[in-house]
């Protein structure tokens, strides 16, 4: 170790850090809100918006497809958000940027819950829905990467993947809260009440999560690694230029590392909800489940997701990030080939809870294994002075490649070519992830201060 490296390490250890509790809260709350907001929208887009904003009684499948297309808008906006927030995150710091991104995201979500329907405002309601979805995506574009940096830049060297699991655990928490809200609402209200006002409640309740997140983030410290970069004059004036000039390969690697997790998540959580609850003529698989039954199954399976995030991160700190993600990618190819048999009504019949729970639990176990190490792996691919921009751009480009049109594509594929075509789609994305991770260097022991 050189004298400069020894001084840097000593300075890093003496810098003030947030407590582990503060790091957990500050990093986890944002991704919890992200997945809460996105899944609340995904559930509404699959079940309520086709009737509220895109009613087409002559062809319900078309109404469902149009509704799911609005789901894609936020994903298209997210890379733009990552460019904006990544620039300021690498120049001004993680803390301020995260506060603004959370506020932007929260306002967009809350206003969706206040929006009049098509019957009241006509096409203007659809246009404003799309605008608010775009604003939601802009805010979300700066969220994950900043949360991951708050966690990993406060982490001990040998526990970066474990600390990186904090923002990743926000995903099952947000998912559980969203599903739980819809489950409770549908337990006490019929479909007419849900269409009249019940669908709004999850969007309005998101304000509570945003307020909690803002309180935590306003009081947290700036990360020690960013403060060190400031002291050593390593903060660059144009981090975006630096990223695309020096780290374009890492951006591509990050995009395809994450894309399959998005494809898998929205296949499990949004497409399968419609497939399991809707009749074949309405874009579903005719499996015969009620919406409430399927939400309960998803809430059980999401606990498996959370457990495997922690397990995979512990293994990533022990054995390396590459080994864990290569394993998950190979297993995802196998899962993609086999899961359609569990969702084929001609094979398993209708209302087969065992087959459907097997699909959800195995899928979410693989999702946790693939998603967990990403919280450390992506930031480790980039230098400290462009880390917010680089990891954010890669993560949010993955949202377009892997998630934006997943419910729409999967619904179209399954309605035209059967459920096995959805498995093929997921398998292709898993192979892309495998190629990306094999092209990466192991980052477990990288110097995170540089």
Q: Is the per-residue pLDDT at 355 higher than 50?
A: yes
At 157 the pLDDT is 86
Averaged pLDDT of the chain: 88
Between the two ends of the chain, the Cα-to-Cα distance in Å is 14
Q: Is the per-residue pLDDT at 198 higher than 70?
A: yes
pLDDT digits (tens, 9 = 90+) for 377-418: 999 999 988 998 999 999 989 988 887 788 788 989 998 899
At 87 the pLDDT is 85
Q: Is the per-residue pLDDT at 438 higher than 70?
A: yes
Contact in structure between 262 and 406 (CB atoms under 8 Å): yes
Distance CA 172, CA 169 (A): 6
Contact in structure between 186 and 292 (CB atoms under 8 Å): yes
Distance CA 98, CA 308 (A): 27
Residues sharing a CB contact under 8 Å with residue 236, sequence separation 6 or more, in sequence order: 90, 91, 242, 385, 386
Contact in structure between 254 and 403 (CB atoms under 8 Å): no
At 248 the pLDDT is 92
Distance CA 11, CA 15 (A): 6
Q: Where are the domains of the chain?
A: 14-438
Distance CA 271, CA 275 (A): 6
At 266 the pLDDT is 85
Which CATH architecture best describes the domain 14-438? Up-down Bundle (1.20)
The answer for 194, left when phi > 0, alpha when psi is -120 to 50, beta otherwise, is: alpha
Give the pTM: 0.85
pLDDT band for 269, please (50, 70, 90 cuts).
Answer: confident
Q: Which two tokens stand for residue 155?
A: 């982490």
At 18 the pLDDT is 60
Q: Which helix (H) or strand (E) holds 183?
A: helix 160-188
Distance CA 250, CA 405 (A): 24
Q: Which two tokens stand for residue 447?
A: 């110097």
Torsion, CA 124, CA 125, CA 128, CA 133, rounded to 10: -150
Distances (CA, A) of 179 to 41, 109, 143, 252, 356: 11, 16, 21, 33, 17
């Amino acid at each position: 170790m050189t004298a400069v490296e020894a001084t840097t390490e000593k300075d890093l250890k003496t810098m003030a850090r947030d407590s582990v509790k503060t790091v957990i809260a500050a990093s986890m709350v944002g991704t919890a809100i992200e997945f809460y907001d996105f899944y609340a929208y995904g559930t509404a887009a699959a079940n309520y918006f086709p009737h509220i904003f895109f009613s087409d009684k002559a062809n319900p499948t078309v109404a469902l497809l149009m509704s799911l297309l609005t789901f894609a808008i936020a994903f298209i906006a997210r890379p733009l958000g990552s460019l904006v927030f990544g620039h300021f995150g690498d120049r001004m710091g993680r803390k301020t940027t995260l506060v603004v991104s959370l506020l932007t995201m929260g306002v967009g979500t809350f206003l969706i819950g206040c929006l009049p329907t098509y019957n009241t405002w006509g096409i203007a309601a659809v246009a404003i829905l799309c605008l608010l979805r775009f604003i939601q995506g802009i805010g979300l574009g700066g969220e994950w990467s900043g949360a991951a940096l708050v966690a990993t830049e406060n982490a001990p060297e040998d526990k970066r993947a474990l600390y990186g699991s904090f923002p990743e655990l926000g995903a099952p928490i947000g998912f559980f809260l969203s599903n739980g809200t819809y489950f409770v609402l549908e337990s006490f209200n019929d479909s007419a009440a849900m269409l009249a006002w019940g669908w709004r409640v999850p969007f309005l309740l998101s304000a509570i999560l945003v307020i909690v997140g803002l309180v935590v983030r306003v009081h947290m410290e700036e990360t020690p690694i960013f403060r060190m970069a400031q002291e050593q004059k390593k903060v660059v004036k144009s981090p975006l230029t630096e990223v695309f000039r020096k780290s374009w390969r890492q951006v591509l690697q990050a995009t395809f590392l994450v894309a399959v997790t998005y494809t898998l998540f929205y296949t499990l959580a949004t497409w399968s909800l419609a497939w399991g609850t809707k009749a074949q003529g309405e874009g579903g698989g005719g499996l015969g489940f009620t919406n409430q039954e399927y939400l309960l199954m998803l809430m059980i399976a999401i606990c498996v997701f959370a457990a495997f995030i922690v397990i995979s991160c512990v293994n990533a700190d022990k054995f390396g990030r590459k080994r864990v993600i290569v394993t998950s990618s190979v297993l995802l190819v196998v899962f993609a080939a086999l899961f359609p048999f569990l969702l084929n009504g001609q094979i398993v019949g209708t209302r087969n809870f065992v087959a459907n729970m097997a699909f959800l639990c195995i899928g979410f176990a693989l999702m946790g294994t693939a998603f967990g190490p990403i919280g450390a792996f992506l930031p480790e691919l980039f230098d400290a002075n462009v880390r917010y921009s680089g990891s954010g751009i890669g993560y949010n480009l993955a949202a377009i490649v892997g998630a934006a049109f997943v419910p729409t594509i999967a619904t179209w594929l399954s309605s035209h070519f059967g459920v096995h075509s959805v498995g093929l789609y997921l398998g292709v994305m898993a192979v892309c992830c495998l190629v990306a991770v094999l092209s990466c260097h192991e980052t477990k022991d990288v110097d995170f201060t540089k």
